[in-house]
């Protein structure tokens, strides 16, 4: 094997190992992440995990005691949704740099592939052919 090819192989393996380490680190961060939102007047506080699952509900003040059940239920729902939105935004911030070209966690349809960018009319313009001319 030529020295140049060997160097390229070693560089590719080093990049692979770095990406793998980055992904492991991202998974660890995701496992530790949570988001907490509070309703006005601290009626309720909701905490969710990375996936938006409720991990805690608290009533830090006695303000809820003066609320009708339907009103309290609405405030709880809104606060949970706020915490879930915060968790989703945290997740996007964490994952976006790791997304392959042609895919984004942002926009109306997060995670949707941009087929034209991945598979353009001219294949050599696609993300799969970048850097192959250097081999």
The mean predicted confidence, pLDDT, of the chain is 82
Is 46 found in the same domain as 16?
A: no
Is 119 found in the same domain as 85?
A: no
Contacts of residue 63, defined as CB under 8 A and 6 or more positions apart, other chains included, come to 41, 42, 43
Is 38 found in the same domain as 28?
A: no
pTM metric for this prediction = 0.66
Segment 27-50 shows an average pLDDT of 92
pLDDT of 134 = 43
**Rounded distance between C-alpha atoms, residue 23 and residue 29, angstroms:** 10
Task: Tell me which residue range forms the domain holding 121.
Answer: 100-135
pLDDT of 132 = 45
Contact 64, 29 (CB under 8 A): no
Contact 50, 91 (CB under 8 A): yes
Top pLDDT among 34 and 115 is at 34
Q: Is the pLDDT of residue 1 over 90?
A: no
Top pLDDT among 127 and 87 is at 87
């Amino acid at each position: 094997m030529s020295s140049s090819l060997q160097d390229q192989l070693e560089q590719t393996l080093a990049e692979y190992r770095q990406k793998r380490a980055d992904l492991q680190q991202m998974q660890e961060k995701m496992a530790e992440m949570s988001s907490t939102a509070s309703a006005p007047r601290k009626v309720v506080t909701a905490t969710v995990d990375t996936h938006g699952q409720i991990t805690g509900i608290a009533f830090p003040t006695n303000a809820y005691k003066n609320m009708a059940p339907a009103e309290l239920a609405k405030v709880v729902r809104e606060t949970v949704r706020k915490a879930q939105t915060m968790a989703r935004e945290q997740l996007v911030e964490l994952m976006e740099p790791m997304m392959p070209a042609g895919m984004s966690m942002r926009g109306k349809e997060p995670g949707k592939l941009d087929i034209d960018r991945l598979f353009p009319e001219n294949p050599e313009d696609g993300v799969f052919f970048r850097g192959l001319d250097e081999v």
